[in-house]
Amino acid sequence: MKLALNHKSPIPLHIQAEELLRKMIADPQFQNGKLLPNEIDLANQLAISRTTLRQALNKLVYEGLLIRKKGVGTKVADAMISSKSANWLSFSQEMKARGIPIKNFELHVSWIYPEEIIANFFNIKTDQKILKLERLRGKPEGPFVYFVSYFHPRTGLTGEEDFKRPLYDILQADYNIISELSKEEISAKAADKFIASKLETEPGSPILFRKRFVFDQADRPIEYNLGYYKADSFVYTVESRRS
């Protein structure tokens, strides 16, 4: 692996180092509990000070991607997929950060009359068609999550978009809608026939079910999202502090 930073670049060295570390994290070479080079050596290789390198390391440790242990070293955190409520990484970004290749198994777009609950959430009538997006995604070995999203007409989405791009990019760049607030409900349930067939598992097998309500800057509802995760494929992490 080429280890060099551009000292002439206007991009700060600790940012460059951070980017490089993200690539290292994605590298299978460091995946299975193997240690990264130690801080002093790595700093020397990059021709930056240990302080600057640690600035980059700290960020990744904070994100839960790296684990440091005094007297031992620094390793990549086990690649169980997790979502930190603090950060707004999209599904694809999250996978990328961990070097897990994503495979899109299915993608289906349709215009449907919303169910009562959804119409209610969007504050619209049930006789107005809305965009429904279904996606089956996972690792190359097989799917592990089935998403269903409904979008408020306000988003302007046509269904013709290139959904290979991150959704939040599309909304922000092309439709000037920024997702600000998200409320989530996480629970466990048994897979029904439909979900089981999608996720290639048995009906009745455990599923992590995640409902997500997304709002824009003005707290207006934007997206209603349901995620069905195969058990043990996904861990939701939350950090909270008593105030």
Partner DNA sequence: TAAATCACTATGTTTGTACATATTTGGTTC
Partner DNA sequence: GAACCAAATATGTACAAACATAGTGATTTA
What are 189's two structure tokens? 């349930």
Member of 35, 62, 142, 194 binding its own copies (CB under 8 A) = 62
Cα–Cα dist 151/129, whole Å: 10
User: By CB under 8 A, which span of 89-97, 124-132, 153-161, 227-235 interacts with its own copies?
Assistant: 227-235
Q: How many residues bind DNA (CB under 7 A)?
A: 27
Our finding on whether 89 is near DNA (CB under 7 A) is: no
Q: Which does 140 bind (CB under 5 to 8 A by kind): its own copies, DNA, none?
A: none
**Pick from 110, 137, 154: which is nearest to 198 by CA?**
137
Binding of its own copies by 180 (CB under 8 A): yes
Q: Residue 48 touches which of DNA, its own copies, none (CB < 5 to 8 A by kind)? A: DNA
Given the complex with DNA, which of 58 and 90 has the nearer CB atom? 58
CB atoms within 10 A of CB 229: 23
Which of 1, 8, 28, 123 lies at the binding interface for DNA (CB under 7 A)? 123
Whole-number Å distance between alpha carbons of 206 and 189:
6
Residue 240 within binding range of its own copies, rule CB under 8 A: yes
Query: Which does residue 38 touch among its own copies, DNA, none (CB within 5 to 8 A, set by kind)?
Result: DNA
Do the Cβ atoms of 199 and 146 come closer than 8 Å?
yes
CB 192 within 8 A of CB 205: no
- Does 116 bind its own copies (CB under 8 A)? Our answer is no
Residue 52 binds DNA, judged by CB under 7 A: yes
CB-based contacts of 19, cutoff 8 Å, min separation 6: none
Longest CA–CA span in the chain (Å) reads 65
Please state the closest distance from residue 179 (CB atom) to its own copies, in A: 7
Do residues 136 and 143 lie in contact, with contact meaning Cβ atoms separated by under 8 Å? yes
Q: For residue 35, give the nearest of 4, 1, 69 by alpha carbon.
A: 69
| Residue 13 near DNA by CB under 7 A | yes
Element (H, E) at 14: helix 13-26
Instruction: Kindly state whether residue 166 participates in binding its own copies, applying the rule CB under 8 A.
Output: no
* The binder of DNA chosen from 3, 23, 33, 40 (CB under 7 A): 40
C-alpha 224: how far from chain center:
17
36 binds, among its own copies, DNA, none (CB under 5 to 8 A by kind): DNA
Local structure of 209: helix, strand or coil: strand
SS3 174: helix
Residue 15 site contact among its own copies, DNA, none (CB < 5 to 8 Å, cut-off depends on kind)? DNA
| Positions that interact with its own copies (CB under 8 A) | 22, 26, 58-59, 62-64, 82-88, 178-190, 204-209, 229, 231-232, 234-243
